[in-house]
Homo-oligomer: A and B are copies of this chain.
Amino acid sequence: MKILIAQGGGPTAVINQSLTGAVLEAKKHGLEVLGARHGIKGIVKEDFINLSDLADDKLNRIAETPASALGSTRDKPNDEYCTNILNIFKKHDIRGFFYIGGNDSSDTIRIVLDFAKQANYEMKGFHIPKTVDNDLMENDHTPGFPSAARFVSKAVMGIDRDNAALPGIHLCIIMGRHAGFLTAAAALGGAHRIYIPEHPFDLDEFAQEVKQTFTEQGRAVIGISEGVQDKDGNPIITHFVKEKEVDAHGNVQLSSLPLGDILTNFLKEKIGASRVRSDTFGYTQRSYPDPSPIDSQEARLVGQAAIQHFMKGERNSGSVTIIRTANEPYASTFGISDLENIAGKTRHMPAEFFDPGTKTITPEGIAHLKPLVGDLPIIEKF
C-alpha cells in the first residue's frame, strides 16, 4: 500500500524526527512512502521522493537536521487545489496522507479528506503535530516547542549575564502570535518580566513596570511576545506601524517588523532610560541545531504513532497528541484526537502559568517548562 507524507508551515528543529519516525515505522509494515516536496504544493506538482527506498542511516541523519527536509509551504488549499490533490492521490493510488504541521496543516487534511469522501475515494489522513508556538489544542505541548524554548532559555541566559555586565534595559522579542509559551521560556533564562499575547499589553503599564525593575535591580531583562496586543486585541505594532504583510492563512507576519526598535525608542522617550537594547530572536529560535533531547525523542514518536494508527484501522483520521503523565522524572504518552479539535484552533497558555500582577511566570509554569528544555548551563555569579 502506498502512503504520502509532507511537511507544512514553519519548520522546527525536530520536524525531521517526525518524518523519520513515520518513514521507519511505515517501512516496518511494508508500506511504500512517497514524500512530497514543499507540502501540498509538491503533491499537485507530483514532486515526489520515494522515502521507503532510502537507507535507515540516511533517514536517521535527516532526523538530526533542523527544518523540514522535504521543504514546506504556506499554501492553504481552496476547492480547486483540493480537487487537484485528490486526482494525484487517485492517480498514484495513495491511500494514506500524513501531514506534519500546525493547526493549518490539520485543517488541510480535514478538507482533503472531506473531498475524498465526496468523491468516494477511500483513504485515511493523519496529522502529525509540530509548532514552536505550542498552540495546538489537546496537547500538553507540541514537538518543536521544547527545542525553541531551549534556544530562548539559553539565549536569554547569555543576555542576562551580558546585561548584568553592562547594565541597562534589554528587550528580547520572541516568537508567538497568539500564545506566550515560548516567551515564558525567557523566564528560565532569567528574564525579570514577561509580556504575552494572552494578557492585554498596556504601553504605560509596560513603561512603569520596566522602570520599576530597573530602579530595583539596576537593570532589566524583559521577554516580549511578538504578538502582544492591546485590550482591544490589536497587535501593539499597529500603534506604531502602518504597513504589514499577511500570508495566505490571514496571519500577519510580525517577525520582520521592528517591534524591538519601536519599544526601545518608546522606553527611551517615556522613562528616559539611556541604555536600552533589543534582540529579536527571529528564525534562529525555530531552527537552531541544538534540539532538546525530550523534543527529539517525542517528535520521532509522534511520527511513529501516526503510522501505527493508520495500520490499526480503528479510525480513518486523527491528530496525534502528547499527554504528560509525570513531571519528576518527566514522562509522556501519546493520544489521538479528531482533526476538528485541532484544525483552526489556538491553545493559549494556562492562566495559572502567568502572574499578570508581576508579569512573571509562576512556579507552576516553570515546573511545566523545565523538563522540556533539557539541561541548561550552570550560571555562577560573584
Residues of A in contact with B (beta carbons under 8 Å apart) = 7, 10-11, 13, 35, 38, 49, 58, 61-62, 64-74, 154-155, 157-159, 161-162, 164-167, 170, 255-258, 260-261, 264, 277-284, 286-290, 377-382
Contacting residues, chain B, for A280 (C-beta < 8 A): 279-280, 282
In Å, the complex CA distance between A166 and B61 comes to 20
Q: Which residue of B35, B161, B283 is within 8 Å of A11 (Cβ)?
A: B161
- Kindly identify which residue among B10, B161, B286 contacts A65, using a CB–CB cutoff of 8 Å: B161
Contacts A161-B67, A162-B11, A289-B154 given; does A283 touch B170 at CB 8 Å: yes
The secondary-structure label for the interface of chain A is loop
Whether A377 contacts B166 by the Cβ 8 Å rule is no
Which residue on B lies nearest to A258, using beta carbons? B258
Contact between A158 and B279 (Cβ–Cβ < 8 Å)? Answer: no
Give the top 5 A-B pairs by smallest Cβ distance, nearest first.
A158-B287, A67-B161, A61-B380, A279-B282, A68-B165
CB pair B283–A66 under 8 Å, yes or no, is no
Task: Identify which of B66, B70, B159 contacts A382 (C-beta below 8 A).
Answer: B70
Contact of A162 among B167, B277, B286 (CB under 8 A): B286
Contact present for B286 and A284 (CB under 8 Å): no
- How near does chain B come to A168, taking the closest CB pair, in angstroms? 11
Minimum Cβ distance to chain B for residue A297 (Å): 17
* Contact between A377 and B289, CB atoms less than 8 A apart: yes
A277 to B257: give the CA distance in the assembly, Å.
10
Question: Nearest residue in B to A155 (C-beta to C-beta)?
Answer: B284
B-chain residues with CB within 8 Å of residue A161 when the two chains form the complex: 11, 65-67, 69, 287
Kindly state the separation between the CA atoms of A382 and B6 in the bound complex, as whole angstroms. Answer: 13
| A66-B157, A66-B158, A277-B282 given; 13 more Cβ-contact pairs under 8 Å | A65-B378, A65-B379, A65-B380, A67-B158, A68-B166, A69-B161, A71-B165, A159-B283, A255-B277, A257-B261, A279-B280, A279-B284, A289-B379
**Which of B70, B159, B279, B290 sits near A290, CB closer than 8 Å?**
B290
In the assembled complex, how far is the CB of residue A380 from the closest CB belonging to chain B, in whole angstroms?
4
Interface residue from B158, B289, B377 paired with A64 (Cβ < 8 Å): B377
Contact: B13 with A158, CB < 8 Å? Answer: yes
Is the beta-carbon distance between A380 and B58 smaller than 8 angstroms? Answer: yes
